[in-house]
């Protein structure tokens, strides 16, 4: 375990940030189960945290968790044994509460920091970061390993907390971590990327996985980092503490392919694409090659042909051009894709473009379901797609606006269920049904996940008939 993290039995711990989606709930429960007493503090008031608070009612009732909501107190960060900060806190070096903890020599870590501190070994860890493609690539690596019969778990930025799974992680388990730039900044040793004035207060020791994958770099999350230089340095932390015999997977097509690595680190530069995927898009074929090479470096005993066959069967991330079902029809199949996370016109156009690439069916075979909450976006480009699609089905608050731009060519529907059933009835063998709404979901759903889940249920019901 990391030496700067104290023994948790009997420790007093401040968890900074519960979050509306309960991000701090899992780490709070894990800390309590290990004998710590937790003060959970959040700047939001209780009425905005109801769902998250409900998940820890029992801990609060037992007296093992105290709540401080609607603001933070400096003393809560200076009179404890450990602070667990939410990595989403922007520019943490400017946060007065974290600065107070460092000034008082209180160790500060994050949920991912606790995770890697309690893993059996870094020798079975593959870490994936990058500005784009890291979610798909890390998910593909996990998929390959599992399909090839390896014991593998997935966590981090998208996979969720691995803290509850630590008892089941053995020295043979491969741990796949998707890591955001905030996570790599914290894991890399804050003094390395913080301003020099904080170097005495923030921990300097870094951490890198045995296999590090950096997909690419483009300016992003500058609200957190302040500038692109800090963002770049944070991403580079994934490589900085690698050791002799470790592997850095640095694909071509971005400046990251030229990033320096420590002496003795094997540099792997994936080129080309894996064809024949279940999911469309040149970017996914590229991601598949990166994932394939990373998986083979993570476990050299893998059979390359089996690993390549496995990545071809990857169904996609939930709600992101995810292959949801294949409906048998007229001696062929109708593929159904759930792209519910598409909440902008630009994202919908990219989804359609994926089916225009060589080897795909073309837009003329696509039945597009679009519409939803009105964010004020210009949706005329979606309406004009009706000319090049098999059909356009509109729904929700923005349905009439999109239909108007289609010059009467859209099929007007009320909701996802009506649009999906209409598309299923009209689609022919070889066609594609695509839920890519170009709008948020809040007019009819709590979130885009609920919208996508309904679409999945409907098309899978049709596929089972």
Domain assignment of residue 317, yes or no: no
Give the chain's radius of gyration (CA, Å): 24
As a whole-number percent, the residues of the chain with pLDDT over 70 amount to: 94
Do 261 and 406 lie in a common domain?
no
> pLDDT value at position 226?
85
Q: Are residues 332 and 429 in the same domain?
A: yes
Structural domain containing residue 52: 12-109
Q: Give the pLDDT band of residue 80 (cuts 50, 70, 90).
A: very high
Same domain, yes or no: 220 and 345: no
Residue 58 counted as domain residue:
yes
Residues 140 and 272 in one domain: yes
Reply yes or no on whether the pLDDT at 83 is more than 90: yes
Among 109, 127, 158, give the residue marking a domain's end.
109
Our count of domains for the chain comes to 3
Residue 429 domain flag: yes
Rounded to an integer, the average pLDDT of 23-51 is: 91
Match 């696509």 to its residue by tokens.
366
Of 281, 312, 343, which closes a domain? Answer: 312
pLDDT at 444: 96
Q: Has residue 126 been placed in a domain?
A: yes
State whether 264 and 401 are in the same domain.
no
For the stretch 255-278, pLDDT in tens is 999 999 999 999 999 999 999 999
Q: Check which CATH number belongs to the domain holding 407 and give it.
A: 3.90.190.20
Q: What is the pLDDT of residue 1?
A: 42
For residues 272 and 421, membership in a common domain is answered with: no
309-318: pLDDT as tens digits: 999 999 999 9
Burial 373-383 (b: 16+ CB within 10 A, else e): bbeebebeebb
- 3 within some domain: no
Do 457 and 416 share a domain, yes or no? yes
Q: Give the list of residues 6+ apart from residue 63 with CB closer than 8 angstroms, or none.
A: none
| Other beta carbons within 10 Å of 167 | 7
Q: Mark whether 269 and 355 lie in a shared domain.
A: no
Q: Say whether both 34 and 160 belong to one domain.
A: no
Contacts (Cβ under 8 Å, ≥6 apart) of 71: 41, 43
Q: What is the mean pLDDT of residues 418-442?
A: 97
Q: Which residue has the tokens 């019901």?
A: 461
Confidence check: pLDDT of 213 > 70: yes
6 in a structural domain:
no
Shared-domain flag, residues 22 and 63:
yes
Q: Residue 426: pLDDT above 80?
A: yes
Q: What is the pLDDT of residue 167?
A: 94
387, two tokens:
């000319």
- Could you tell me if residue 419 is inside a domain? yes
Say which residue, 178 or 190, is predicted with more confidence.
Answer: 178
Q: What is the pTM of this model?
A: 0.88
Task: Count the helices and strands in the chain (H runs, E runs).
Answer: 18, 17
- What CATH code is carried by the domain that includes residue 50? 3.40.50.720
Burial class (CB in 10 A: 0-12, 13-18, 19+), 303: exposed
With contact defined as beta carbons under 8 Å apart, do 315 and 278 qualify?
Answer: yes
Q: Which neighbouring-strand residues pair with 155?
A: 177
**Among 259, 112, 97, 240, residue whose Cα is nearest residue 183:** 112
pLDDT, tens digit, for every residue of 322-343? 999 999 999 999 999 999 999 9
Q: Are residues 92 and 119 in the same domain?
A: no
- Give the end of a domain, one of 77, 109, 141: 109
Same domain, 297 and 412: no
CATH number at residue 281: 3.40.1190.10
Strands 332-338 and 322-329: antiparallel
Cα 163 from Cα 437, distance rounded (Å): 35
CB-based contact 382:402 (threshold 8 Å): yes
Residues 214 and 256: beta-carbon distance below 8 Å: yes
- Does some domain include residue 366? yes
Mean pLDDT: which of 155-159, 204-208, 275-279 is highest? 275-279
């Amino acid at each position: 375990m990391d030496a700067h993290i104290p023994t948790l039995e009997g420790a007093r711990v401040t968890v900074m940030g519960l979050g509306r989606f309960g991000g701090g709930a899992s780490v709070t429960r894990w800390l309590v189960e290990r004998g710590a007493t937790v003060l959970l503090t959040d700047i939001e008031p209780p009425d905005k945290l109801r769902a998250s608070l409900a998940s820890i009612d029992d801990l609060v009732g037992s007296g093992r968790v105290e709540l401080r909501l609607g603001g933070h107190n400096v003393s809560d960060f200076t009179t404890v044994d450990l602070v667990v900060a939410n990595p989403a806190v922007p520019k943490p070096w400017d946060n007065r509460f974290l600065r107070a903890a460092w000034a008082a020599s209180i160790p500060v870590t994050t949920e991912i920091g606790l995770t890697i501190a309690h893993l059996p070994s870094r020798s079975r860890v593959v870490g994936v970061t990058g500005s784009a493609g890291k979610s798909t690539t890390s998910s593909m690596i996990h998929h390959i390993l599992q399909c090839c019969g390896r014991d593998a778990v997935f966590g981090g930025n998208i996979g969720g907390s691995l803290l509850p799974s630590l008892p089941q992680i053995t020295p043979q388990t491969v741990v796949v971590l998707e890591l955001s730039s905030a996570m790599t900044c914290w894991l890399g040793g804050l003094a390395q990327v913080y301003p020099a004035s904080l170097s005495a207060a923030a921990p300097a020791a870094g951490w890198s996985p045995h296999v590090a994958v950096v997909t690419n770099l483009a300016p992003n999350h500058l609200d957190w980092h302040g500038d692109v230089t800090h963002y770049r340095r944070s991403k580079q932390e994934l490589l900085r503490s690698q050791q002799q015999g470790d592997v850095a997977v640095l694909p071509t097509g971005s400046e990251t392919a030229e990033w320096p690595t420590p002496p003795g680190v094997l540099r792997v530069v994936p080129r080309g694409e894996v064809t024949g995927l279940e999911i469309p898009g040149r970017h996914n074929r590229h991601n598949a090659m990166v994932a394939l090479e990373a998986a083979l470096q993570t476990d050299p005993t893998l059979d390359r042909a089996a690993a390549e066959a496995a990545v071809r069967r990857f169904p996609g991330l939930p709600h992101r051009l995810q292959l949801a079902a294949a409906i048998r029809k007229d001696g062929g199949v109708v593929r159904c894709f759930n792209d519910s996370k598409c909440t902008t016109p630009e994202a919908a156009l990219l989804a359609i473009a994926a089916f225009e690439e060589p080897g795909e069916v073309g837009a003329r075979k696509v039945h597009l379901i679009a519409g939803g909450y009105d964010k004020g976006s210009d949706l005329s480009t979606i309406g004009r797609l009706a000319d090049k699609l098999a059909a356009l089905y509109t729904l929700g608050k923005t349905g009439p606006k999109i239909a108007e731009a289609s010059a009467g060519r859209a099929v007007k529907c009320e909701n996802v269920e009506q649009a999906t059933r209409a598309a299923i009835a009209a689609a022919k063998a070889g066609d594609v049904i695509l839920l890519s709404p170009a709008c948020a979901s809040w007019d009819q759903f709590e979130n885009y996940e609920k919208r996508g889940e309904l679409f999945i249920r409907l098309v899978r019901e049709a596929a089972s008939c």
